[in-house]
Structure formats: C-alpha cells, structure tokens
A and B are shown apart, each in its own frame.
Chain A
Amino acid sequence: MIRDITLGQYYPGDSWVHRLDARTKIIATLLYLIELFVVNNFYGFIIAAVALFVVIGISKVPLKFIFRGLSAVFLIIAFTFLLNMFMVDGTVLWQWKFLKITQEGLSRAFFMAIRLVLIIIGSSIMTLTTKPVELTDGLEKLLSPFSKIGLPSHEIALMMTIALRFIPTLMEETDKIIKAQQARGADFESGNLFQRAKSLIPILVPLFVSSFRIAQDLALAMEARCYHGGKGRTRMNEIRFDRGDAVAAVMMVLFLAAIIASRFIKL
C-alpha cells in the first residue's frame, strides 16, 4: 500500500542516534553525502558502508524497515545500473548487435549503484531517526543566520513540515482518483506519448482541485490555532547540542579522514 513507503518517514525510538540534535544529523548527513562523491574506489565504499551499518546498529531501526524504503526506489537503482553497464566504452566482455558490456562499464555500474544505495540509506537514516518537526526545526535553526539576508527560514521549515505531513494524504488521493477514472474505463497505458499525456488530464484536474481544497482547509485550521508566522513562537522540544553531539562530531571527523585516506589506496 502507498502509505507504507518509508522514505521520509519516522521510526519512533529512543536510541543515541534518535536523541542527537537534528542539526547534528542534518550536517552529518550532508557531509556523508558529499563524502560519497569523494570516494573513488571500492575500499572507500567499504568504509562508508561499515560506518553506515554501525550507525544503523546504534539507532536500533530494523534493517527490514530500511530495505523496504529501498525497494520503493529499486527501479531507479536498476536503471542507473543498466545505463552505466551499457554506456561505458572499454574492454568488451560481451556483445550483441549494438549492445555491449565492458569491464569498465560493469565496474562503473556497480560503483554507481552502490553509491546510490548508500545515498538513499544514509539519508533515510536521518529521516527515520528524527521526528519531522525536529528535522524542520533543525533546518530552521541552521538557516536562521541567513534570514538576515532575507531568507525566509521559518517559512521554508514550515513548508517542509506540511509537505511531509501531506505526502501520504496526497498519494492516497491520487490513488483514489486514478481508480475512480479507471472505473469509468479510462486507459492510461496505451497510445502514443501525446495521447498518454492527454489521458492524465482526468487525474490531474481532480488532483489539483483536491490539493487546493486541502490547502484551503489547512490554512483555516492553522489560523484557527493562532498561527501567525514564526515570530513569538515557542517549541515543545527545544533542540540543543549536548555531549552526544560532540561525540558525533568526533566520529564524523574520523570518518572523513578515513574516506580521504581511502582515495590513496591502490590495488
């Protein structure tokens, strides 16, 4: 079912990872993602994967839960893999007409697929262990220095909160509209590109109308609950750095050093 997609979902818990300041986790995740692009050989990935699984272990989020999120984007991973496998020139291992697999292509395909998997798991660890509100609060705090130069940090954070809240609602709505139009004999699969695009109108129009209705309802509900921007707002859970965050910072530095070192490992 559509509501079971784990990407961007929270897995309630009270582990060390859960308790970290959201800002620590956002920065760590960003660093981790950047480091994945610094990696230039498989040893780097081994270090990155080990580090990731250590974090997952500490977080006590079941592996099954994480892989379920991965299965939702399996198609993208497979596509990346195939694209790289067939597109890279080099020593030919297998050929059929214009399709050929090269040693370099194969190695590159694995490389890219592993990177993608690590990116997805790495970022889902952040969302799985951080409540959406903490995540957006953390983001708001991180961005707040920029509000002096006109960046609406509170509004950005609120938009994210609402987006996370309403993604499942809109997915269910879409599912319902698609089925309702299918029940009236709508066909979304056959025809050329133009016909297919046109067949989306019966979905897009009601979806647009629904989104508008949701937005209107929500705006009223927020106003009724005294929402008037970020000014004077307090938080139930004030986020703050503590010793755990310091430990995390040290771990991140060690990890960064290990990744950079891995670039120089040669076979």
Chain B
Amino acid sequence: MAASHSADAGFVRFEAVEKTYDGINLVVKSLNLSIGRGEFLTMLGPSGSGKTTTLMMLAGFESATSGEIYLDGERINNIPPHKRGLGMVFQNYALFPHMSIAENIAFPLQVRHLGKAEIAERVRKALDMVQMSGLDARKPAQLSGGQQQRIALARALVFEPKLLLMDEPLGALDKQLREHMQYEIKHLHERLGITIVYVTHDQSEALTMSDRIAVFNDGIIQQLAAPADLYEKPDNSFVAQFIGENNRIAGRVVSITNGKARIDAKGGTFDALAVKCTAGQSTSVSIRPERVSIDPVQADIVFDARIEEVIYLGDHIRIRVSVLGSDEFVVKTPNQNNQRKFNSGDTLRIGWAVEDGRALDA
C-alpha cells in the first residue's frame, strides 16, 4: 500500500544527490526532490544554480557524484540515456538539420525498430497533435522558431516516454510567441497527463505553467512550492527577491511574539510575520509592491514616504519612494480616472497589513 503510494508521489526521486565537476565545488548540494506522476515541476533559478545539471543527471548526460536517482521505483544512476526512455526538448530544439521533419519525428521510432507502417501512422498523429500536419517534407531550417519548437515537442513525445524533460525550451522565442507556447505546453500536459520536468530561468514562465516550482540557487533548492505559495509566501529572501517584484527593508528583530516579529528599522519600528528570523538578529522584510496602499483608510502599518521617482507605465504607475532607510521601495497604483498627481519630492502616506510583511533572513 505504502509502496504503490510512494511510487506515484515519488515517480522521480533524487536522494542526497551531489554533483561536482572539479572535485572542489559542489554544483548540486545534497539534493532531495520527489516528483509525482503526472506532475509539472519546474526547476527555476539563475544560471549556475544547478538546475540544468540536475536535469542532465536525470536525463543521464551527467552522472551524480553521489546519491541515488530513482525513476518509477528503479534506480537509474547507471542506466545510459538511451535506455531511460525519457523524452527531452532542448534549448534551441536540437532538431537534426540533415533530416526532414518527418524523419526527425520518426527517428526515435526507427531506433526502436518499429514497423514502417506504424512509424508513418505515429508520425502523422504526432504532427496532428502539435497542429503541424503537412510539413513532413520540410527541413528544420525552413521552419520558424515556434514551428521548430512544436516539432521538437512532437519528436520528444512520439515514443510515449514516461517523462518529458524540457531544458529552457522557449528561450529562443520572442516574447509573444513564448507566452503562446507556454499555454500550448500547459494544455498538452493537461491533455496527455505526462510528467514534465521543466528548467527555466524565467520566473513568469515558471509561475504560468507549473504545478510546483523548485527554486534553485547555489546548488540548493531554496523552496519547493506551488506557484501561488512561492509568490505569496516566500521562505527566504532569495526566493522573495527572485520571484516577482519585491521591496526589502533591512532591520533588526527586537522580539518575536505569537509569530510576529517586532522590527527595528532605520526610521521606525513595525511588526511583520516572523518567517525566517531570530530575535536579536538582523533581518530583511519582504513586502510585495501591490500589497502597499497609498493613503490607506485602514492599515496596520503606516509610514510617510518621500517620492523619489514616478514612472508612467500605461495601465499602472510605479512610484519609487524612500521609506524606512530604503530608497528602492516601490509602490504600484492603477491608472484611474480621478488620479491624484504624484510629483517627486512630495510626501506620500503608505501602509500595509502586518501579514504582508515577511521577516526573512538578512
């Protein structure tokens, strides 16, 4: 009972996996990660954070220096890539330039020695799936970036892999196409129910598509959570800073009572949710710009701020103010009809709820 449950929840499991290339620096540090069957998990992080190395270890192109990797209950550390049965979509697609589209998609079926008729049938279906029928004879170079992306997807899925790995697959596309493809991949995931491990450094991509996001930094998963939790309840200041826009106020924790920390910052004292801080130590309080209100009718915390800069963005206005020792504090306000005028140098009254301020590691 427990075993079958764990196979589903831990379809892919990393257990204390470490990776070093030079024997000195660990690129991945004691990684423990469990991915459920059918889950869309994104590894998000800046470059050099270890996310791609982790993906390459899962695909079999890099070996783990220590630790175990399991796929569907089987230890795969020593299984070569071509026997792992994973589909993979690469950065820049890696479509074989000397083969036609149909040959590209037929490749995984040919190396599995399927019959000609079956290959033709499955290639046709795969092309249908990504809405690219009729382009069989073209060469990859004759397709647009978005089309190549779809063919790469069709090729990675045509042999019905257990798991689909995607390494920054949308990095080479322009913004509009990227957003469109995000939805397409998401819908494909919902339709096929396949497990997807997706690597990106683009946080909005991660937030849009994933069931869960593992935020990597410095070879460590900083936080593993659903998109909403990750954004609204960051565990530490790296995650708060990396995901979305964030205001940081540096201060010192005076005391913690009932999960609320009293923060002593330059220019005032206020309360914040004690998430990752200890009394007497310095802290960094994270407040999302959209949670800060201007001229608050009722707010737990209210301060006077000085307007440093006003940036007009069409649908909303960004106001950079200096408050509590930070001059990078940003407030967003929707662009409305009876908008009051904001001028730099003016004083602005801002406020937020205690729960919206999260006291994290400094």
Partners in one complex: no
What is the interface of chain B, defined by CB distance below 8 A to chain A? none
